[in-house]
Amino acid sequence: MKTYKELPNDAGSNIIGQVTAQANRLQKRLASIKHTVAIMSGKGGVGKSSLTANLATALTRKGNAVGVVDADINGPTLAKMMGVRKATLVYSQVGVKPAITPLGTKLISMDLLLAEDDAPVLWNAHTQKDAFTWRSTMEVGALREFIADTEWGQLDYLLLDLPPGTDRLPNVAELIPNLGGVVVVTIPSEVSQLIVKKSVTMARDILKVPIIGVVENMAFYVCQHCGEEEPLFSTEGALDSTLQQAILGGIPFDPRLARANDNGTPYLDEYPDAPASKALMQVAEKIQAFFEGEDLHAPPVGAVS
């Protein structure tokens, strides 16, 4: 194995120069972005990508310039959810023009680079059995390119939809040292909360990344017959005190939201008066309030502790 001192002379590849140049491009891109937000869960299947897509719509609807990075390199879904899978990426000397939704939200995703629906992401290696050795490094490199090589322009918010796993945030924090904050997604399940609490600890105590708050997805459902709110999961799965203190809101389950994601149409536009739409807009408002310096989790004035 070669040392870093030997790499610059490695067949003229100038790998150190390449990495430095890309790091400089990354910093230049980030300089035009006001706020960066990582959306994570630690556990799959909690609706994190759906939340990202709809929060991007909500923030755009509130007059913000919003970009989204689908950081799930191996299982990208946001291009479909946001209705831009047929978009063609245009390359220029200054970077790649992202896909843009009819509302104006910008998106970069590995899905836009794959030729077929069933095409997997394959990494260069002698064999795919050997690829696992470099997979994490190559995924970080791809994510770096997504952020650094995309023509974002001036953005108010850049949302990064992270893949499942408590180990994903450290990679992003390394790429974006001044990461603005983290939104953690869970569901009313003890299994989900067990993993999510690890993610909160990783972000808050180890990486020192600000926790914007926790979103409880599929918190309940609204009966179509009587209008009453009913728990979708066992009541024993209620948020524990650690997560409850950081709650941004609960998003009710609505099958129409999943249908809108499948169709690539904005749920917030189709059902603006639905309980889930109102909850999503409230979460977006709280994210904005966080960056405006408000304490989202402070007790109300006059509250007795």
**Mean pLDDT on 269-292:** 95
Among the listed residues 274, 266, 276, the one whose alpha carbon sits nearest the alpha carbon of residue 53 = 266
Q: Which residue has the higher pLDDT, 9 or 163?
A: 163
Phi and psi dihedrals of 102, rounded to 5?
-55, -30
CB 103 within 8 A of CB 141: no
pLDDT in tens, 25-42: 888 889 999 999 999 987
Confidence (pLDDT) at 4: 42
pLDDT 10s digits, 176-190: 989 999 999 998 888
Q: 102, 93, 81, 87: which is closest to 159 by C-alpha?
A: 81
Of the candidates 45, 31, 56, 175, the residue with the CA atom closest to the CA atom of residue 107: 56
Q: How far apart are CA 186 and CA 38, in angstroms?
A: 14
* Confidence band, pLDDT 50/70/90 cuts, at residue 5: very low
List of residues 6+ apart from 266 with CB closer than 8 A: 54, 57, 83, 101, 103, 260
CA–CA gap between residue 253 and residue 218 (Å, rounded): 4
Angle at 177 between CA 172 and CA 179, to 5 degrees: 70
* Residue 305 pLDDT class (50, 70, 90 cuts): very low
Q: Which two tokens stand for residue 246?
A: 């950081």
**CA–CA distance, 75 with 121 (Å, rounded to integer):** 9
Structure-block tokens of residue 42: 């630690």
Range 8-36 burial, b when 16+ CB lie within 10 A, else e: eeeeeeeeeeeeeebeebbeebbeebebb
Q: What is the pLDDT of residues 123-174, one digit of tens each?
A: 455 555 555 544 566 677 788 888 999 999 999 999 999 988 777 788 888 8
**How far is 280 from 251, CA to CA, in rounded Å?**
7
Task: Calculate mean pLDDT across residues 75-82.
Answer: 93
Contact 246, 275 (CB under 8 A): no
Is 191's pLDDT higher than 80? yes
Task: Say which residue, 276 or 297, is predicted with more confidence.
Answer: 276
Closest CA to 39 of 265, 217, 233, 245: 217
Residues with Cβ within 8 Å of residue 230, at least 6 apart in sequence: 220, 221, 222, 223
Does residue 117 surpass a pLDDT of 90? no
**Beta-sheet pairing, 155-161 with 33-40:** parallel
SS3 291: helix
d(CA 56, CA 236): 32
Question: pTM value?
Answer: 0.84
224 class by beta-carbon count within 10 Å (0-12 exposed, 13-18 middle, 19+ buried): exposed
E-assigned strand segments in 8-101: 33-40, 66-70, 90-92, 95-97, 99-100
Pairing of strands 106-109, 155-161: unpaired
φ/ψ (deg, to 5) at 77: -135, -15
Q: How confident is the model at residue 116 (pLDDT cuts 50, 70, 90)?
A: low
**Going by DSSP bridges, is the β-strand pair 181-186/211-222 parallel, antiparallel, or unpaired?**
parallel
Q: Tokens representing 25?
A: 């491009």
pLDDT(53) > 50: yes
- DSSP 8-state assignment for residue 150: B
CATH architecture observed for domain 25-291: 3-Layer(aba) Sandwich (3.40)
